[in-house]
Amino acid sequence: MGLRGKLKILASADLGDLGPVESEPVFCNWPLARLLLSVLPWLLLLGLLLSPPNRNARAWTVLLPVAGLYLFACLMVQNPFVQEGPWRDFIVFYQQMAMGLGVLWLGSSILAGRKPVFAFPLAALVLALTTDLFILTGYGFRFIETPTGGLFWWLPSVEALAVICALILGGLFSRRRYTPARFTLWAVFWLLVGNAAAIAVYLRLEMWALGAWSPTSLAFRVWLEWIPIVMVGSSTILLPFLLLTYHNRLYRDRFYAIFRLTDAAEPLADVVAAPKALAK
């Protein structure tokens, strides 16, 4: 017995003069190993919360959307309807992607000081890798036991790219007349466009990986079925973080610096310098 995830059980009986008899060994999963893996994402978040730029109460408010979305997903997967089909995997995916957004928001102090050409690809990479890592820890690093096993390989990458591109385009289209409502509407619009493209790319990658090529009509039907699912999932996890950003001075200043946005009363130079000042 140990932390390898298995517990060996033997049934035995003493038959007197005939000696003891033992059954074949039965291996059971040992839950402690799964428990240790499941806390890894929270340890990563804790490490970022304790880093110097985030060592203040304003930064710690990111736990509100992270914990809220995590608990909401935990309740959703208890629904009997969710247990059927791929619904549970989608909910787990967006649950872990919400934690990936928490990592991204905590790391926004680094992105705020970089040029967009470096900041945005780095943001997409961080979101994709952390989501993939968190999904793997949630499933105990097992790929083949879920109906949508390829989900671990393709969906985090294409969906992270869709989310980051939606934020980039939302910032570009609202830069001249920025308001939180205007940015949100543009971001949601481009999120719909990005999700449509991400699903198409994901389905083709899955077909290629499985060595199959479904008819265009079947692929189109699956594409149409998945658009509402991924749109609801991505919007549900993104909007709470945007609301936090609009109402939290620390994250709002980082947000302005990354997307080169300004309020009428704040020059861009002050906005870019604000995250560094708040972190001190």
SS (H, E, C) the chain: CCCCCEEEECCEEECHHHCEEECCCEEEECHHHHHHHHCHHHHHHHHHHCCHHHCCHHHHCCHHHHHHHHHHHHHHCCCCCCCCCCHHHHHHHHHHHHHHHHHHHHCHHHHCCCCHHHHHHHHHHHHHHHHHHHHHHHCCCCCCCCCCHHHHCCHHHHHHHHHHHHHHHHHHHCCCCCCHHHHHHHHHHHHHHHHHHHHHHHHHHHHHHHCCCCCHHHHHHHHHHHHHHHHHHHHHHHHHHHHHHHHCHHHHHHHHHHHCCCCCCCCHHHHHHHHHHHHC
Give the residue carrying structure tokens 């997967």: 77
Output the pLDDT for position 86: 66
Instruction: Give backbone dihedrals phi and psi of 192, rounded to 5 degrees, phi first.
Output: -65, -45
What pTM, to 2 d.p., does this model score? 0.76
Model pLDDT for residues 5-38, shown as the tens digit of each residue: 454 454 555 555 555 555 565 555 555 556 666 6
| Bridge partners of residue 12, in order along the sequence | 22
Q: Is it the case that residue 269 has pLDDT exceeding 90?
A: no
67 has pLDDT over 90: yes
∠ CA 176-120-63, nearest 5°, is: 95
Taking only the tens place, the pLDDT of each residue in 150-187 is 555 567 788 888 999 999 999 999 888 889 999 999 99
Q: How many CB atoms lie within 10 A of CB 192?
A: 17
Domain ranges in the chain are 1-34, 39-279
Q: How is residue 11 written in tokens?
A: 């049934």
Q: What digits encode the pLDDT tens for the residues 224-262?
A: 888 888 899 999 999 999 999 999 999 999 999 998 887
Cα distances (Å, whole numbers) of residue 266 to 33, 113, 179, 256, 263:
51, 17, 14, 10, 5
